[in-house]
Amino acid sequence: MSISTTKPAPIARRTIADFPPFDLARLLETVFEPVDGCRVCILIDLDNPTQMQDYAFLQDESLTIQRKAHDVFFKGLQEGVAATLGLSGGEMFAYQTTGGSNLDLPDEAVAADGTTCSLEQDIYPNYDLILCVSTFSATAPLTAFAKKYGFRGATLHGLNDIILATGLAVDYREVSAEAEKLRLAMTKADSFEIDFELNDNKYTLQLICDGQEAQKSHGLCLGRDPDIANLPAGEVYFVPKGAEGQFPMRFDDGTLAVMDVTNGRIHQATLVSGDADLIAAYNARLKADPVTGELGELGLGTQDLPVSGRDIQDEKVLGTVHVATGRSDHLGGHLTPELFAEKLNATHDDILFSPTKTPEIHVSEVRMLRDGVTTVVIQDYEPAAHLRDALAG
């Protein structure tokens, strides 16, 4: 047994100034290695997709993510990046905002000239690379459609200036290599244990992996096989075979509750502080649609990145840990949308634990059990010796 009680010294964290300037051509070339003639398009989500006509959505200052899609990706492709990489197309389309993470996408979309089109008939079969810059993650549905129609692509939900300057400015060949070192350091684990502290109370969640091969989100989407990269990337993840114990959870409004987990699922939430009606509604959903509480992912960040305020990047920060409930088919799990009682419940919701996202909740330790040996991998949101040695190797 190799449990360590010595707290690791904090690693020196990079700041925005430590990253090279964002370069769209470099990003697309590194992630996809596109061949001449690849057709590329951009998808965005809008509450009112008719705002796509003549780019009317640009008049709404609240649509910051969609503006980034236009100003950085669309204009970047039109103003030289497409020609540099030998890409064609570059059109933008908008679909109706889904309202939840990884919910299935509607089929109808609107083009810049105001015409409506079908994603399944007009977009998916006719583009080689699809970039989805959206409010809510579309990784799960686009992964399924990529396999069906043969395209590649990337999902970049929640895009902001910090992500552009850091998480999308890195060399993903290096990110992939670092993620592989950490994947090998944790692959075939039997289980993980996460210790939490909240208000002087301690909780432990055990996630059972049964010796499965660890997977990595590393940002490279090479070759001709259909695939979707979730960017920014940089994590090692597992699809748990089961889970037991308790863990505290912070809801978006700051409400805190403790989750009781048995047989791989959250069965009940107990209010600690905040909105009692919110927890009552959460428990009602667990009762009516039990698979909504299934823990379908354990993820550990692998990148040295600044905090962006968006989970898509912050869950990739080395030293953080996240679990996720719900849909897991895009990760290799069994939970597909049709297994939910209600279509709108078929989300994949990441629950991130980090000093900035969950300041009231402290993760004191994450332990890996493998081949009869217990090894600490994270202590106090810092990578422990096992992960640091792997990265140095």
Q: DSSP secondary structure string, 236-290?
A: EEE--SEEEEEEEEE-TTS-EEEEEEETTEEEEEEEEES-HHHHHHHHHHHHHSG
And the tokens for 195?
A: 């210790």
Number of H helices and E strands in the chain, helices first, is 10, 20
And the tokens for 3?
A: 């449990």
pLDDT for the residue 35: 87
How far is C-alpha 372 from the chain's CA centre? 31
Query: What is d(CA 256, CA 27) in angstroms, rounded to the nearest whole number?
Result: 39
C-alpha R_g of the chain: 21
And the tokens for 393?
A: 């190797």
**Do 66 and 133 meet the contact criterion of CB atoms below 8 Å apart?**
yes
Query: What is d(CA 181, CA 30) in angstroms, rounded to the nearest whole number?
Result: 20
pLDDT < 50: residue spans in the chain: 1-4
**How many angstroms separate the most distant Cα atoms in the chain?**
64
Q: Where are the alpha helices (DSSP H) in 212-365?
A: 276-288, 311-314
CA-closest candidate to residue 76, choices 111, 33, 26, 37: 26
Full-model pTM: 0.94
And the tokens for 88?
A: 């064609």
CATH architecture of structural domain 20-165: 3-Layer(aba) Sandwich (3.40)
Map out the domains of the chain as residue ranges. 20-165, 172-392
pLDDT for the residue 6: 64
Amino acid, single-letter form, for residue 22: F
Q: Are strands 88-96 and 39-46 parallel, antiparallel or unpaired?
A: parallel
How confident is the model over 11-24, as pLDDT tens digits? Answer: 878 999 999 999 99
pLDDT for the residue 10: 82
Sheet holding 39-46, edge to edge: 116-118, 108-111, 88-96, 39-46, 129-132, 152-155, 227-230
**Do 35 and 51 meet the contact criterion of CB atoms below 8 Å apart?**
no
Which residue reads 């929640």 in tokens?
Answer: 158
And the tokens for 137?
A: 């993650």
pLDDT for the residue 12: 78
pLDDT for the residue 2: 47
Residue 224: count of CB within 10 angstroms of its CB: 9
| Per-residue CA distances from 289 to 100, 242, 344 (Å) | 16, 18, 11
**24-32 vs 172-186: helix axis angle to the nearest 10?**
40
Which residue reads 């992996």 in tokens?
Answer: 209
CA-closest candidate to residue 100, choices 309, 286, 342, 360: 342
pLDDT for the residue 322: 98
CA-closest candidate to residue 197, choices 7, 365, 357, 376: 365
